[in-house]
């Protein structure tokens, strides 16, 4: 049996692989599991990911096709697409009786089927604490060892001393980790910014100008804050890396698939046609839009920008969607 890994990452997409590279460069033994098995086998042979050109897996990263090997690790990190994460973990938990002290997930979104955050669903499913790792990071830059910062949000069941140990364990000279206890806020910010990034792409492709984009991002943060605070998160989280930082990156960066999707729809393509151009990349903001609206209704929070994006996804003309937003009754800031 191979050596027990220090960290196991479940999800061998670009982000899971980039995290494996970041920790593997510092000497951590990382098992990287994903599906399909053929993709893992290719990763083991080529030592490179097709969406991370110019970056190679460090020697201490081991792609594995059998989840039982990775499940022996003392730290589990889930980097799966949000909407399939509970289903995959329902299967993975049957592969081992071992349960580490916590699971960290690095996915961004709200579940469409029950409008819950991932930690809300995974904690009872796995019977263990669940934290979240989130922030303004593009996987290709992390894979190339460019500087970045993330928020590590841990539940109260993890004691302060251990929380700081985990922070130090996951931090690297090029990946700075900030500790938070606001799991709710960090998860909601990570999900909601994808919706706003679609809106930013729409504004950009319609040629509405930088004034409109600045207004969109600012009022988008206000929407984010209303929802986060109503659901028990903290306002300072919204104004930090997980909120404003991630929004700035995703709404402006050329690598942002959510911004790119919004721009394609704004240029006249149907949502279905725009999605067809994205290949295997998941645009999490699509599912998150209606899930966020449903969640907001439960706490009586108005989300006008999110409502416009929902209409856009249902086929409304982009110009009409923006017109609805601009014609809303005037309000105080």
The answer to whether 193 is a known catalytic residue is yes
pLDDT (0 to 100) of residue 3: 82
pLDDT (0 to 100) of residue 1: 63
Which of 93, 108, 116, 193 is catalytic? The answer is 193
Q: Would you say residue 332 lies in a domain?
A: no
Q: pLDDT averaged over the chain?
A: 94
Confidence of residue 321 (pLDDT cuts 50, 70, 90): confident
Distance from C-alpha of 228 to C-alpha of 206, rounded to nearest angstrom: 29
2 has a pLDDT exceeding 60: yes
CATH number at residue 151: 3.40.50.720
* Beta carbons of 190 and 288 less than 8 angstroms apart: no
* Beta carbons of 61 and 27 less than 8 angstroms apart: no
Domains identified in the chain, total number: 2
| Stretch 45-51: mean pLDDT | 96
Q: Would you say residue 1 lies in a domain?
A: no
Question: 169 with 195, same domain?
Answer: no
Q: Tell which of 126, 146, 181 closes a domain.
A: 181
**Buried b / exposed e across 124-156, counting CB within 10 Å, b at 16+?**
eebebbbbbbbbbbbbbbbbebeebbbbbbbbe
Summarize pLDDT for 202-248 with one digit per residue, the tens.
999 999 999 999 999 999 999 999 999 999 999 999 999 999 999 99
Summarize pLDDT for 162-175 with one digit per residue, the tens.
999 999 999 999 99
Question: 124 with 230, same domain?
Answer: no
Q: Tell which of 118, 146, 181 closes a domain.
A: 181
Confidence of residue 326 (pLDDT cuts 50, 70, 90): confident
Distance from C-alpha of 124 to C-alpha of 247, rounded to nearest angstrom: 30
Range of the domain at 50: 7-181
| Stretch 114-119: mean pLDDT | 96
Question: 71 with 214, same domain?
Answer: no
């Amino acid at each position: 049996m191979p050596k027990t890994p220090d960290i196991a990452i479940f999800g061998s997409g670009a982000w899971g692989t980039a995290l494996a590279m970041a920790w593997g460069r510092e000497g951590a033994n990382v098992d990287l599991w994903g599906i399909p098995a053929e993709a893992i086998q290719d990763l083991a042979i080529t030592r490179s990911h097709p969406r991370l050109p110019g970056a190679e897996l460090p020697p201490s990263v081991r792609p594995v096709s059998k989840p039982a090997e990775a499940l022996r690790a003392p730290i589990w990190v889930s980097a799966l697409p949000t909407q399939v994460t509970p289903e995959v973990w329902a299967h993975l938990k049957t592969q081992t009786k071992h349960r580490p002290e916590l699971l960290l997930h690095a996915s961004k979104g709200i579940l469409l089927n029950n409008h819950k955050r991932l930690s809300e669903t995974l904690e009872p499913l796995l019977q263990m604490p669940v934290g979240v790792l989130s922030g303004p990071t593009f996987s290709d830059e992390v894979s190339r060892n460019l500087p970045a910062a993330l928020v590590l949000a841990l539940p109260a069941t993890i004691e302060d001393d251990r929380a700081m140990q985990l922070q130090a364990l996951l931090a690297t000279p090029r990946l700075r980790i900030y500790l938070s206890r606001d799991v709710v806020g960090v998860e909601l910010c990570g999900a909601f910014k994808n919706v706003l990034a679609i809106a930013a792409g729409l504004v950009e492709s319609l040629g509405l100008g930088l004034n409109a984009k600045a207004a969109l991002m600012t009022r988008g943060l206000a929407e984010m804050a209303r929802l986060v605070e109503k659901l028990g998160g903290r306002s300072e989280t919204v104004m930090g890396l997980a909120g404003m930082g991630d929004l700035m990156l995703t709404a402006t960066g050329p690598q942002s698939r959510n911004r790119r999707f919004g721009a394609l729809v704004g240029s006249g393509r149907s949502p279905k046609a725009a999605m067809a151009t994205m290949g295997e990349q998941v645009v999490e903001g699509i599912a998150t839009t209606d899930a966020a609206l449903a969640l907001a209704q439960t706490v009586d929070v108005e989300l006008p920008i999110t409502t416009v994006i929902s209409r856009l996804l249902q086929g409304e003309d982009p110009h009409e969607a923006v017109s609805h937003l601009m014609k809303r009754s005037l309000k105080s800031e």
